[in-house]
Structure formats: structure tokens, C-alpha cells
A and B are shown apart, each in its own frame.
Chain A
């Protein structure tokens, strides 16, 4: 982190009298932060960054269950459509 702040007497920091304004580098920082927050909010609103979205924190959580759900859905669909053949343990591949 640091050692010592510059001595006020050294004239590095604003002298007594006028209140210090926000430095330019801080303004740039704030603008970048606001832009990033807006981008994240837009991402959340559009679902890109939300749970389950392609870049959201929940995107990994469903990876396996999605694959399992797809298999179950396929089997159910096959049962409903009568695609099981006699003597077969699994559904006939319909894809």
C-alpha cells in the first residue's frame, strides 16, 4: 500500500482555502464504472447475464441437468408416440 502521504507543507496536496475538486482521473474512473454497471444491468435485463443466461452465474449449474432432462424428455416423447419397439430397452432413435 503505502508509506506516508505527501506532506501538506510540500505543496503536493491542495493548500488551505479552496476545497479540492474531483481529479480528472477519478472522473474517468467513475465514467468507466458507470458504463460497466449499465452494461451489466442491460445484460441482466436481457437475460444474457442472469441466472441461466449464457454468461450468468447459473449457466454452469444447469449443464448436466439439462442433458439429463433432454434424455428424459426424449424418452417420454418416444413413449407417447409409440416409438418403442418390442424387445428393445430404449427408445428408437428419432433424431
Chain B
């Protein structure tokens, strides 16, 4: 079922806003993550861990799910389909993996924030907590790759897509035949 042009444009605008917002939120998170990796200032470390938890909880996770859902709506509601083109399929897989890793990492971030919020945590213990920089940099790379795939839409149809295309052509041919 394909969406009407007006609805499709609206859905596309929503999907783009959420997806690019996700990248922006990761950038904000990464700024705090870099602070936890490099700073020795106790107050800065405490606030950075708390900020990371807040961003992950209230922005990153909702945006990840919203991007995934609107992406599904866009692919199923247009002629691109979900499994017909390699770039759509790869984008879907990468989005699911990024969301899953984010959900796992959220527990770690939550724990870090809990330790940082504890007033009895010493400066040495705060510095020993470390950062989640590997994940935030990796996540950014994954999201940018998905963005590039969505912008360039490289050619390549899956076997399923090719089969569906053949079926549609046959049906069209059958209808137009005298």
C-alpha cells in the first residue's frame, strides 16, 4: 500500500527530522563523553555522567525508536519496499543494530550516572569510571553511513525485489493486453 503524495511528503519530513535529530543528539552526547575521557575536574565529570544519562534516556532512545518506526512506515508506504532494495535493507539492519547496542549501553550509562551522583564517590573513583567513547564514535559512524545510503540510494535490487517487479509487470501486462 503506497501513501498519497501529500502524506508521503509529511512522513518523509518527520522521518528526516527524527533521523538527523538522532545524529545531533549523539553529537551532544559525544561532547560529554569526550569530557569524561579527558577531564580530571571532579565536578565536570559528575555533571557529564549525569548529562549523558539524561540525553540517553530522554533523547537518544526515543529518537532511535522513532527513526526506526518512521523508517519502516516510509519503506512500507512507498514503492521502495522494505526488502526490495539493498540500500533500504542495509539501512534497516544497521538501524536495528544501532538501537540494540544503544539499549544495552543505556544500562551502563545509567550505572555510571548512579555512581557519579553518589556524593560519597571519590574523585579517583570518578576518574576510574572511564568513558563510552568507543560506542558513541561507532554509533555516529553507523548513523552517518545510514544517512549517506538514504541520500544516495545506490542501485541494487534484491532477488525478492526483482521477483516482485516481474510479478507487477506481468499483472500490468495482463491488464493492458486486449
Q: Which residues of A contact B (CB under 8 A)?
A: 1-6, 8, 12-14, 16, 19-20, 22-23, 25-26, 29, 55, 57-61, 63-64, 66-67
Contacts and interface: CB of A to CB of B under 8 A. Distances in A.
Given A3-B8, A60-B108, A63-B115, A22 B156 contact: yes
Contact of A64 (B105, B125, B169): B125
A4 to B, nearest CB: 6
B81 to A, nearest CB: 8
10 contacts: A4-B78, A5-B84, A13-B155, A14-B157, A20-B158, A26-B156, A60-B130, A63-B128, A64-B115, A67-B124
Interface of B: 8, 12, 15-16, 71, 74-75, 78-80, 84-86, 90, 104-105, 107-108, 111-112, 115, 121, 124-125, 128-130, 132, 134, 150, 153-159, 162, 165-166, 169
Given A1-B71, A13-B165, A57-B105, A67 B159 contact: no
Contact of A19 (B90, B128, B159): B159
**Chain A contact residues: over half helix, strand or loop, or mixed?**
loop
B89 to A, nearest CB: 9
Contacts of B115: 63-64
A20 to B, nearest CB: 5
A59 B165 CA distance: 50
Given A1-B16, A19-B162, A29-B90, A61 B156 contact: no
Contacts of A25: 154, 156
A7 to B, nearest CB: 9
A3 B12 contact: yes
A57 B100 CA distance: 13
Contacts of B108: 57-58, 60-61
B117 to A, nearest CB: 12
Given A3-B12, A20-B162, A61 B111 contact: yes
A4 B16 contact: no
Nearest to A36: B138
Contacts of A23: 86, 154-156
Nearest to A25: B154
Given A19-B159, A23-B154, 6 more contacts: A1-B75, A1-B80, A2-B12, A2-B150, A12-B155, A59-B130
